[in-house]
Amino acid sequence: MPRLRFALIASLVASTLAFAETAPTHIAPVDVATAIKLRDQAMNDGTAYAIVAGLSTEIGPRLAGGVNDQRARDWVAARFKALGFDKVTSEPVKFPRWVRDSEHAEILAPYPQKLAVLALGGSVGTPKGGVSADVVAFKTLDELKAASAAQLKDKIAYIGFHMAASKDGHTYGEAVGARVVGASVAASFGAKAIVIRSIGSDNERLPHTGVMQYDTKIARIPAAAISNSDADLLEHMLTLGKPVRLNLALDCGTQGEYTGANVIGEITGSEHPEEVIVIGGHLDSWDPGTGAIDDGAGVAITMAAAHLIGQLPQRPKRTIRVVAFANEEAGMYGANAYAEAHKNEVAKHLIGSESDFGAGRIWRLSAQVKPEALGAIDQIMQVLAPLDVQRGGDHAHGGDFGAMGAQGMAILDLGQDGTDYFNWHHTANDTMDKIDPKALAQNVAVYATYAYMAAQAIGDFGSKPGAFASAKEQE
Binding positions for Zn ion, rule: CB under 5 A: 294-295, 356
Cα–Cα distance measured from residue 62 to residue 49, given in angstroms and rounded to the nearest whole number: 18
Least distance to Zn ion from the beta carbon of 208, Å?
A: 13
Cα–Cα distance measured from residue 362 to residue 358, given in angstroms and rounded to the nearest whole number: 10
**CB closer to Zn ion, 64 vs 133:** 64
Alpha carbon separation from 95 to 24, 64, 285, 327 (Å, rounded) = 42, 9, 15, 8
Assess whether the previous peptide bond of 313 is cis (omega < 30° from 0). Answer: no
Say which amino acid occupies 290. T
Least distance to Zn ion from the beta carbon of 364, Å?
A: 18
Cα–Cα distance measured from residue 343 to residue 335, given in angstroms and rounded to the nearest whole number: 12
Identify whether the C-beta of residue 209 lies closer than 8 Å to the C-beta of residue 118: yes
Kindly name the residue from 266, 275, 328, 354 that is annotated as catalytic: 328
Is 106 a catalytic site residue? no
Identify whether the C-beta of residue 395 lies closer than 8 Å to the C-beta of residue 366: yes
**CB closer to Zn ion, 250 vs 435:** 435
Give the 3-state DSSP-derived string for 213-245, with helices as H, strands as E and coil as C: CCCCCCCCCCEEEECHHHHHHHHHHHCCCCCCE
Least distance to Zn ion from the beta carbon of 210, Å?
A: 10
Least distance to Zn ion from the beta carbon of 411, Å?
A: 17
Cα–Cα distance measured from residue 439 to residue 388, given in angstroms and rounded to the nearest whole number: 12
From the centroid of its chain, how far is CA 313? 33
β-bridge partners, 415: 364
**CB closer to Zn ion, 266 vs 294:** 294
β-bridge partners, 366: 413
Least distance to Zn ion from the beta carbon of 369, Å?
A: 24
**CB closer to Zn ion, 295 vs 460:** 295
**CB closer to Zn ion, 162 vs 425:** 425
**CB closer to Zn ion, 294 vs 460:** 294
Give the 3-state DSSP-derived string for 138-196, with helices as H, strands as E and coil as C: ECCHHHHHCCCHHHHCCCEEEECCCCCCCCCCHHHHHHCHHHHHHHHHHHHCCCCEEEE
β-bridge partners, 211: 121
Least distance to Zn ion from the beta carbon of 295, Å?
A: 4
Least distance to Zn ion from the beta carbon of 31, Å?
A: 32
Say which amino acid occupies 372. E
**CB closer to Zn ion, 121 vs 269:** 121
**Which residues are catalytic, by number?**
328
